[in-house]
């Protein structure tokens, strides 16, 4: 449109193509307002838009409002209730499936090198263990995947879009919210919760299998390092030894323990990760199980303070027995008791002093009191270490054979316990696995002492028949009962220099020696270090806990 010259008047310069002049809002205001459906009683009026004037004759006043709300993307019910602000903030629509051609979107951002599912499943923001997701880009845990969840905010703020549910093992893309069903992610789902088939479990001790982690390091499933977070080496050796008890291992790997307490579930997951043939790393971390044990034991066993492996083993077996549905009174009510529990006969007599006999102490001829007790761990006492060393052999450490300290259970030799003379004898049937505790530490009111005596033992063919009371109904008399060594927990005392007044202190180092049945080799595991060991030199270290497996009887002689 041409400009108006100064000489022309404003009224005469109105062009044909000029837009209509604006009228005041007060002019005919009543004609531009229509009542809403929900405001008939309170007189609320909604201004009518110019483009909707032609709709009045067809739709009516109430239908105009409904059309306007649909164009705005809000629900008319919320507006009619007076919740206009809430209607404007409705939840976004979640996708049920990716768009066509975008099925592999964001999968290239996954970093398997930072994924570590061994830690406790807690949200890194809320510290909640409910509905936890792991980010597959940075490896952190977040709670939920809804529009107001921590994982949803992490996807929007940081730009990490792939998450796995730690319980269902389903993988989702956020913020879109659809599930990814790509076969390329099956390895991640397997590492989150390793599951082997019964056929794969049956050949664990037969097939000489090797595996490689993401860094190309070779490892043998079942013989992997375990992270020592601070001072939990006592825990690592016990878990490794139990993970090689075949019936217990197979039960934990194949049974569904989802409805059992957390102690049984987390121990099962750790055992399956130890035997995982497709792990991303060649070591595991016991952090998740340790946190549960610290909670259940009232912080008696933690990852920051070292404890005694035998004390922990006894506590753990009893609590695992209860977690697997075992009874406190009924024997063999769980897999733990079926594998380790046996019976023991205890004979006792009172010791009295008789002056007429000329002896200070004399055993009375009273009747022997007999008691039948059950055990999970057998304690073996070492002979006292000599006070004075030989001048010629002053550097020789005392030695004793394992059969010598097992004579405690032959039913002939007696031991004095306070004012009682006691004899022990094992009873048939012997359990499939025997746990020996070689007692090395003793404590009095002043100091704790360690017995450094070396115990020599055979790796194969330990005959337990001399220490079992014959029972022809259960086992043929005179036939040997052979046991083979499975695991051996050793102790080493290390001098640690201290700047305190004491000068030096003695630190304890725990290791475990494990037998590889498929190769007939021995491996020694100390935290993250796994080294091959010679079977001929196993006894040269201070044995503390031993696990022995009963050998199956040859065909034609029945069952042991």
Which has the closest alpha carbon to 374: 311, 423, 329? 329
Contact of 73 with 30, CB cutoff 8 Å: no
Q: What pLDDT sits at residue 253?
A: 95
Place of tokens 């006043």: 61
Determine the distance from the C-alpha atom of residue 281 to the mean position of all C-alpha atoms in its chain, rounded to a whole number: 16
Rounded Cα gap, residues 279 and 109, in angstroms:
20
Q: Say if residue 171 is preceded by a cis peptide, omega within 30 of 0.
A: no
Degrees to nearest 5, angle at CA 245 with 244 and 248: 120
Determine the distance from the C-alpha atom of residue 64 to the mean position of all C-alpha atoms in its chain, rounded to a whole number: 61
**Neighbour-count burial of 455, counting CB atoms closer than 10 A to its CB (0-12 exposed, 13-18 middle, 19+ buried):** buried
Whole-angstrom CA distances from 28 to 31, 132, 134 are 5, 61, 62
Residue 117's H or E segment, with its range, is none
Contact of 317 with 376, CB cutoff 8 Å: yes
**Neighbour-count burial of 206, counting CB atoms closer than 10 A to its CB (0-12 exposed, 13-18 middle, 19+ buried):** exposed
Place of tokens 């001399």: 466
Q: What pLDDT sits at residue 280?
A: 94
> One digit per residue, pLDDT tens: the chain, 560 residues?
555 565 555 555 554 455 444 444 444 444 444 444 443 434 434 444 444 444 444 333 344 344 333 333 344 444 444 444 444 445 566 777 777 666 778 899 999 999 989 888 999 999 999 999 999 999 999 999 888 899 999 999 999 999 999 999 999 999 988 999 889 999 999 999 999 999 999 999 988 888 999 999 999 999 999 999 999 999 999 999 999 999 999 999 999 998 999 999 999 999 999 999 999 999 999 999 999 999 999 999 999 999 999 999 999 999 999 999 999 888 889 999 999 999 999 998 877 665 555 554 554 555 678 899 999 999 999 988 776 666 555 557 889 999 999 999 998 888 888 778 899 999 999 999 999 999 999 887 777 888 899 999 999 999 999 999 999 888 888 899 999 999 999 999 887 766 555 556 778 999 999 999 998 999 999 999 999 999 999 999 999 999 999 998 765 454 44
Q: What pLDDT sits at residue 507?
A: 86
Rounded Cα gap, residues 351 and 349, in angstroms:
7
Beta strands in 153-272 (DSSP E): 162-165, 171-173, 178-180, 211-212, 218-219, 225-226
C-alpha dihedral (253, 258, 264, 267), degrees to nearest 10:
50
| Tokens (6 digits) for 241 | 């030894």
Which region, left, alpha or beta, applies to residue 131 given φ > 0 means left and ψ of -120 to 50 means alpha? left
DSSP 473-494: TTS-TT---EEEEEEEEEEEEE
Which has the closest alpha carbon to 406: 425, 426, 380, 431? 380
Q: What pLDDT sits at residue 57?
A: 42
**Three-class secondary structure assignment of 175-193:** CCCEEECCHHHHHHHHHHC
Place of tokens 């951002």: 109
Question: Which one-letter DSSP state was computed for residue 297?
Answer: T
| Tokens (6 digits) for 397 | 């450490």
Contacts of 425 (CB under 8 A, 6+ apart): 344, 345, 347, 409, 410, 411, 467, 468, 469
| Tokens (6 digits) for 445 | 């009111």
- Torsions phi, psi of 493, nearest 5? -95, 125
Q: What pLDDT sits at residue 74?
A: 42
Longest dimension (CA), the chain: 154
3-state class (DSSP) for residue 131: coil
Q: What pLDDT sits at residue 385?
A: 76
3-state class (DSSP) for residue 412: coil
Rounded Cα gap, residues 457 and 7, in angstroms:
125
Q: Does domain 343-550 have CATH number 3.90.70.10?
A: yes
Q: What pLDDT sits at residue 127?
A: 92
Rounded Cα gap, residues 419 and 413, in angstroms:
16
Q: Give the number of other Cβ atoms within 10 Å of residue 256's Cβ.
A: 7
Angle at which helices 262-274 and 233-242 cross, to 10°: 80
3-state class (DSSP) for residue 546: strand
Instruction: Say which CATH topology domain 107-191 has.
Output: Herpes Virus-1 (3.30.40)
Rounded Cα gap, residues 48 and 43, in angstroms:
15
- Quick: pLDDT tens for 156-165: 999 999 999 9
Residues of the chain with CATH 3.30.40.10: 107-191
Place of tokens 């935290």: 527
């Amino acid at each position: 449109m041409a400009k108006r010259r100064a000489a022309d008047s404003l009224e005469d310069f109105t062009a044909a193509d000029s837009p209509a002049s604006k009228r005041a809002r007060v002019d005919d205001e009543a004609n531009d307002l229509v009542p809403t459906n929900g405001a008939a009683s309170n007189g609320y009026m909604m201004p009518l838009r110019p483009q909707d004037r032609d709709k009045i004759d067809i739709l009516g006043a109430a239908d105009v409002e409904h059309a306007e709300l649909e164009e705005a993307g809000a629900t008319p019910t919320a507006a009619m209730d007076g919740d206009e602000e809430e209607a404007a903030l409705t939840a976004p629509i979640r996708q049920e499936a990716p768009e066509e051609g975008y099925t592999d979107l964001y999968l290239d951002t996954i970093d398997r090198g930072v994924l570590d599912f061994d830690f406790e499943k807690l949200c890194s923001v809320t510290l909640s263990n409910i509905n936890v997701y792991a980010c597959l880009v940075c490896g952190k845990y977040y709670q939920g995947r809804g529009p107001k969840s921590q994982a949803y905010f992490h996807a929007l703020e940081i730009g990490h879009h792939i998450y796995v549910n730690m319980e269902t093992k389903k993988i989702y893309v956020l913020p879109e919210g659809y599930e990814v069903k790509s076969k390329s992610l099956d390895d991640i789902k397997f590492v989150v919760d390793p599951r082997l088939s019964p056929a794969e479990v049956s050949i664990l001790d037969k097939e000489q299998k090797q595996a490689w982690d993401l860094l190309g390091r070779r490892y043998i499933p079942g013989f992997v390092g375990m992270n020592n977070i601070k001072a939990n080496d006592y825990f690592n050796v016990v878990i490794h030894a139990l993970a090689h008890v075949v019936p217990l291992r197979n039960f934990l790997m194949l049974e569904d323990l989802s409805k059992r307490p957390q102690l049984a579930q987390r121990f099962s997951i750790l055992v399956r990760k130890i035997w995982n043939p497709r792990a991303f790393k060649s070591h595991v971390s016991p952090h998740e199980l340790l946190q549960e044990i610290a909670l259940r034991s009232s912080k008696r066993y933690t990852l920051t303070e070292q404890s005694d492996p035998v004390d922990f083993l006894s506590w753990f077996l009893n609590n695992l027995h209860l977690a697997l549905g075992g009874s406190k009174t009924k024997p063999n009510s769980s897999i733990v008791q079926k594998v380790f529990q046996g019976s023991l006969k205890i004979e006792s007599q009172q010791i009295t002093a008789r002056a007429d006999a000329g002896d200070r102490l004399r055993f009375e001829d009273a009747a022997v009191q007999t008691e039948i007790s059950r055990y999970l761990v057998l304690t073996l006492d070492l002979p006292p270490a000599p006070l004075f060393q030989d001048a010629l052999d002053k550097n020789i450490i005392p030695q004793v054979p394992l059969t010598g300290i097992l004579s405690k259970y032959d039913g002939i030799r007696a031991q004095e316990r306070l004012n009682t003379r006691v004899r022990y004898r094992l009873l048939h049937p012997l359990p499939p696995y025997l746990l020996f505790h070689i007692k090395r530490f003793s404590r009095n009111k002043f100091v704790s002492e360690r017995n450094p005596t070396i115990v020599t033992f055979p790796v194969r063919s330990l005959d337990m028949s001399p220490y079992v009371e014959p029972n022809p109904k259960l086992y043929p008399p005179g036939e040997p009962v052979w046991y083979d060594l499975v695991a051996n927990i050793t102790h080493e005392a290390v001098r640690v220099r201290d700047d305190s007044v004491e000068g030096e202190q003695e630190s304890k180092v725990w290791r475990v020696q494990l037998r590889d049945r498929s190769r007939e080799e021995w491996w020694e595991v100390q935290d993250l270090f796994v080294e091959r060991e010679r079977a001929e030199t196993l006894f040269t270290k201070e044995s503390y806990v031993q696990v022995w497996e009963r050998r199956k009887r040859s065909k034609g002689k029945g069952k042991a």
